[in-house]
Amino acid sequence: PVVFVSLGMPEASLRRLVADAETAGALLVLRGLKERSLQTTVATIKGLMGERRVEWRVDPKLFDTFAVQAVPTLVLIDPSDPLAGGCRSDQ
């Protein structure tokens, strides 16, 4: 599963999504950096994660590929082709 999120969402919602993503093995995807800063983004994510182990990615192309207009949005994808939908680098 892929969950599209924003660091502008309420902190309680993000913490719950992080916990759920860890349980489900989901990828959390951001459209861009918080305050256009990698350091701010990383610090915010670390604060949300604590000891949890969840993969995050900043990938605006995935938002476009799946036509994500609002967050949170959950997308179930084929685990054998996790970047289905035309976002692989070989296409």
Q: Dump pLDDT digits (tens) for 32-89.
A: 999 999 999 999 999 999 999 999 999 999 999 999 999 999 999 876 776 654 444 3
pLDDT for 78 equals: 74
At residue 90 the predicted structure's pLDDT band, cuts being 50, 70 and 90, is very low
CB 21 within 8 A of CB 28: yes
State residue 28 phi and psi, 5-degree precision.
-100, 130
What is the average per-residue pLDDT within 8-36? Answer: 96
First vs last Cα of the chain: how many Å apart? 22
What is the average per-residue pLDDT within 23-34? Answer: 96
State residue 74 phi and psi, 5-degree precision.
-105, 130
What Å distances lie between residue 66 and 11, 20, 48, 73, 91, CA to CA?
25, 21, 25, 10, 16
